[in-house]
A and B are shown apart, each in its own frame.
Chain A
């Protein structure tokens, strides 16, 4: 059994457990970000979530907001909880990722975020969009319908291809669209009332609303995973060459674990240096490794 953490999913209204991000995954994320490959990164985020979730049966049911919350947690555990944003005149403002996550969960947890609408013998089960990037109007209906039930027959939309979903939407009577529009408005209102980052006029920080029908969630997650790839290669080199950690072991560690190891190593070197300095009468000892934030 591997170590895992838990998170509350406010739309599915249940707890879920997830494994932490390892260096292998983090490395790939950095490469996608460095290469500015947004499509690849988007697919990779989806893959990371499916790999990290303990209960694989809920992977297809996760909304983009819930994926966003899981990725916030993964970022917090892998690179640290502190998020620094630059305001006006390069003033840095620190945020806690866990607070951002908890604020969203607290505001969503008591809201009814799914809906069932009926017309004749057709029942539509509506939920939040699943994908991170919504580029056009056509995608919205495809994303909102979770299941369709006619009499006693039921079909899950997330098991279908886009073409199959569209062929069903093509045949659903428009009498149900007013309910669909009301449901879209519910999420638009959420976007207007819940912020990922609150506006801070004093330091020139713009608010980032929790919008689910565009690319806001993706852009934010991408920005908080952005790290220096070269720095990370250096970290890898130091751990493998100086601390004799195997390459395979390195890939299975989390970025935060690596930093802890480096810090221990540096403390150890410092102690050794001090001890040697005392016995040698001040001769310099082995240099320590660079510190990783």
Chain B
């Protein structure tokens, strides 16, 4: 038997096991192929990268969602959690037991997926200051853009090995702000952030007045809180990390 024919059979099996998932940004159900052995391996492997794990797994999840969707669509970061949890459920079941030290927490993914994740923050939001002529437009970014910024950040973090943890954590905030700003207007002059390199965008973000930065962080925190509420059951918040992608 040839490799081509075995691949074709595997493809048929995957096509016949498509998973329907509600995609918040599209406001409709879309079909996805199940997670493959290689993808699961990549997800688990991301857990071995220490402080970079969170960024690496984020990229792997973005890739899985894009690759496994049966239709071409510009997914947004708001789609990430419901889609990946649905794919996880299909491959490894709806129960997940999180083990931390001596404690075990059981999560029923069905319970999480049955919740309504209707982000109140989806869509463009403008923030400005009273005393300075500066306005930022915030929006939810696409998975593609998220990956691009993550890769830039990973590259910087890998190169700067001497950077201490506090600086790394500090830079995470800068990148978080960078991800959400789509436009900047200073003295009536509009800058389309996506038209610039990440390096240039980073320089701009680093020069935004602290007061406006705080407003941006408040917006982001509101967005993240909705995500956290979605994955919190009985006061326990599910961690979206490498451990989630196996039964044992």
> A residues touching B (Cβ–Cβ < 8 Å)?
120-122, 137-138, 141, 148, 150-151, 153-155, 160, 164, 166-178, 180-182, 185
Contact = CB atoms under 8 A, between A and B. Distances in A.
Nearest to A163: B3
Interface in B47-90: 48, 90
Nearest to B48: A137
B13 A181 contact: no
Nearest to B12: A150
A286 B45 CA distance: 68
Interface in B34-53: 34-41, 45, 48
Nearest to B40: A174
Shortest beta-carbon contacts, A-B, top 5: A174-B40, A171-B10, A174-B35, A174-B91, A172-B37
Contact of B3 (A138, A160, A172): A160
B171 interface: no
Contacts of B9: 150-151, 153
Contacts of B246: 177-178, 181
Nearest to B64: A174
Given A137-B41, A160-B3, A174 B10 contact: no
Interface of B: 1-3, 5-7, 9-11, 13-14, 17, 34-41, 45, 48, 90-92, 245-248
Given A150-B6, A150-B10, A174 B248 contact: no
Contact of B35 (A121, A138, A173, A185): A173
A160 B3 CA distance: 8
B1 A155 contact: yes
Given A120-B17, A178-B246, A170 B38 contact: yes
A150 B13 contact: yes
B1 A153 contact: yes
A153 B5 contact: yes
A180 B37 contact: yes
6 contacts: A141-B37, A150-B6, A153-B6, A169-B41, A171-B7, A174-B40
Nearest to B41: A141
B1 A154 contact: yes
Nearest to B245: A174
A139 to B, nearest CB: 11
Contacts of A170: 36-39
B7 A138 contact: no
Contacts of B90: 175
B13 A174 contact: no
A176 B39 CA distance: 12
A176 B91 CA distance: 8
Question: Considering residues A122, A148, A173, A175, which has the most beta carbons from chain B within 10 angstroms of its beta carbon?
Answer: A173
Contact of B6 (A148, A176, A180, A181): A148
B8 to A, nearest CB: 10
A173 B36 contact: yes
A178 B10 contact: no
A170 B5 CA distance: 15
A168 B4 CA distance: 9
Given A137-B45, A160-B3, A168-B7, A122 B13 contact: yes
Contacts of A171: 7, 10-11, 14, 36
Contact of B248 (A138, A173, A178): A178
Given A173-B35, A175-B90, A177-B91, 7 more contacts: A121-B13, A122-B10, A153-B5, A166-B38, A170-B36, A175-B34, A178-B246
Contacts of B45: 137
B248 A155 contact: no
B9 to A, nearest CB: 4
A176 B2 CA distance: 22
Contacts of A174: 34-37, 39-40, 91-92, 245
B43 to A, nearest CB: 9
A172 B248 contact: no
Contacts of B1: 153-155
Nearest to B9: A150
A172 B91 CA distance: 11
Contacts of A153: 1, 5-6, 9
Given A120-B17, A137-B45, A155-B3, A177 B10 contact: no
A172 B5 contact: no
A173 B18 CA distance: 11
Contacts of B41: 137-138, 141, 169, 177
